[in-house]
Amino acid sequence: MSNIADYHNTRAILERHGFSFKKSLGQNFLTDPNILEKITATADLSDQVNVIEIGPGIGALTEFLARNAAEVMAFEIDDRLIPILDETLADYDNVQVVNEDILKTDLQTQIKKFKNPDLPIKVVANLPYYITTPILMHLIESKIPFAEFVVMMQKEVADRISAEPNTKSYGSLSIAVQYFMDASVAFIVPRTVFVPAPNVDSAILKMVRRDQPLVEVSDEDFFFKMSKMAFLHRRKTLWNNLLAQFGKADETKVKLTKALEEAEISPTIRGEALSIPEFAKLAEALHRNMAEEV
């Protein structure tokens, strides 16, 4: 079976439609069917799973998804690609292409358009690199219970999301995602298999939604806000970052000291040394003691 992702097929499609890449949309099309096969296998699809794809391009990944899933709903923001997708995906009656921005569309309404909207939904996509994090957080924080994400992104971003404490990559993004999802890098994708080739290597990140958030907190918004505070200046101690947020008044210092003692956390530690459960303890203690400043 001939694949859209075959390099010669990709070039022929682009030339036939006179398509030119837009840097502003982060367009890099994958031209290696073996990589697409691995992505599909990593997603563990079946005819009992629906798929959301973001940025289908000319449909290279989409057709692999269509062959293995019940239905695919692909969101493409670039109007110029819609007639190309109409052509390349003409043989697949289980694909819906939606010409909308994934960040602006009403996803709750869209997913009702699946023939069987009650099937589990997985997100499988080669995400636009310039907007990877906003898209991921938008989807993760939505009320839609996506079962899994298998998504391609810059290797550096994948490393940050899946990072463990006491590493350079660990930060507020690691905490924000791992709170909801179990995240791990499935495999690396070299820059050489794209047209045009990006400046960095990519990674396939697999994220499986937890049955319950990793930790229990009374105020999620404050928990995430506090984790960002801790990494405001990575080289500074937790104490200095908290002072930068809450202020240096003597009364504030007393409250901060009490909160840190309750959480059994040293003020001289850096944010990157705290595990997510320790961040949860700290958030609860700060919330109790700093209620007026929150």
CB 121 within 8 A of CB 111: yes
Alpha-carbon distance of 287 to 159, in angstroms, equals 30
CA distances 219 to 195, 225, 254, 283, 286, Å, are: 44, 10, 22, 9, 11
Q: pLDDT tens across 204-215, in order?
A: 999 999 999 999
Q: What is the pLDDT of residue 290?
A: 83
The secondary structure of 29-76, three-state, reads: EECCHHHHHHHHHHHCCCCCCEEEEECCCCCHHHHHHHHHCCEEEEEC
126 is in an annotated binding site: yes
What is the pLDDT, as a whole number, of residue 294?
52
| pLDDT score for 268 | 96
Share of the chain above pLDDT 90, in %: 87
Distance in angstroms (rounded) separating the CA atoms of residues 238 and 4: 51
Average pLDDT, the chain: 94
Token match 């309404």: residue? 109
18 marked among binding-site residues: no
pLDDT (mean) for 188-206: 92
Task: Report domain 7-209's class.
Answer: alpha beta
Identity of residue 62? T
47 is in an annotated binding site: no
Determine the Cα–Cα distance for residues 138 and 131; give it in Å rounded to an integer: 11
Which superfamily does 220-289 belong to?
rRNA adenine dimethylase, C-terminal domain (1.10.8.100)
Tokens of 58: 């000319």
Best CA proximity match to 207, nearest among 230, 231, 173:
173
Q: Residue 132: what pLDDT? A: 93
pLDDT of residue 245 exceeding 70:
yes
- Specify the DSSP element, H or E, that contains 96: strand 95-98
Domain ranges (residues) in the chain: 7-209, 220-289
* Better-scored residue on pLDDT, 22 or 284: 284
Span 1-26, pLDDT tens digits = 579 999 999 999 999 999 888 877 77
Q: How large is the average pLDDT for residues 240-256? A: 93
Confirm or deny that 171 is annotated as ligand binding.
no
Give the pLDDT confidence score for residue 15 in this predicted structure.
Answer: 93
- DSSP-derived 3-state class of residue 202: strand
Question: Does residue 3 have a known ligand-binding role?
Answer: no
Q: Which residue has the tokens 């320790």?
A: 278
- Write the pLDDT tens digit of every residue in 109-162: 999 999 999 999 999 999 988 899 999 999 998 889 899 999 999 999 999 999
pLDDT band at residue 291 using 50, 70 and 90 as cut-offs: low
pLDDT digits 0-9 by tens, 90-105: 999 999 999 999 999 9
pLDDT of residue 1: 57
Written as six digits, the tokens of 234 are 């990575």
Does the fold of domain 220-289 match that of domain 7-209?
no
Whether 94 has a binding-site annotation, put simply, is no
Give the per-residue pLDDT at 293: 60
Tokens of 40: 């599909």
pLDDT at 216 over 80: yes
Please report, rounded to a whole number, the percentage of residues in the chain having pLDDT higher than 70: 98
